Amino acid sequence: MKRYSPERKQAMLEKMMPPHNIRVAQLGRESAISNMTLYHWRKQARLKGIVVPGDGKNPDNWSQEDMFAVVLETASLNQTELATYCRQKGLFVEQVAAWKVACIQANANAEEQSKAVKERSRQDRKQIKDLKQELRYKEKALAETAALLVLRKKAKAIWGEDEDT
């Protein structure tokens, strides 16, 4: 197994990151490093919270995780720092702002979904309670009918057929 220097690894990661955003397959061909190694490095960097799309996509087609990571990285930046960050990553300030709005709306939707789930759960519990009660009534009625049939059968066996019917 080949060992690569940390500097080489960092250089490859930087080529996968914006603004270069080179595909892993292309970078593997150019650098003679296996794709599996590059994918592994990219995965390690993502686990550390670094934005590494590495798939050649423009920023509008990035994964939700990468967009969210950019929003987190830029949350505490002022306008000047944000503009510098965007230039380094090959992004537009407007894109980051739109992603931030999408994240906020996703959280709002989560609250609404949570309320809807709670309401649905409450309705389900009420329906289950009603169905259980209805089942008890039907079981009692069935038991009563079965008892009446058994009694009728015994009465026929003891007294015979009724002459009136």
Is there a contact between 15 and 27 (Cβ–Cβ < 8 Å)? yes
b/e 54-71 (16+ beta carbons within 10 angstroms → b): bbeeebeebeeebbbbbb
Both ends of the chain: CA-CA distance in Å? 98
What pLDDT is attached to residue 91? 83
81 by Cβ neighbours in 10 Å (0-12 / 13-18 / 19+) ranks as exposed
Helix (H) / strand (E) containing 97: helix 93-159
Helices (H) and strands (E) in the chain — how many of each? 6, 0
What is the predicted pLDDT for the residue at 130? Answer: 97
The residue with tokens 């949350």 is 75
- The closest of 19, 88, 96 to 56, measured between CA atoms, is 19
pLDDT in tens, the chain (165 residues): 678 888 888 888 888 876 677 888 888 888 888 888 888 888 888 788 776 665 555 666 677 877 888 888 898 999 999 988 888 777 888 989 988 888 888 777 777 778 888 999 999 999 999 999 999 999 999 999 999 999 999 999 888 876 655
Phi-psi sector, 18: left (phi>0), alpha (psi -120 to 50), beta: beta
What is the per-residue pLDDT for 165? Answer: 53
- Residue 21: left (phi > 0), alpha (psi -120 to 50), or beta? left
Give the pLDDT score at 17. Answer: 76
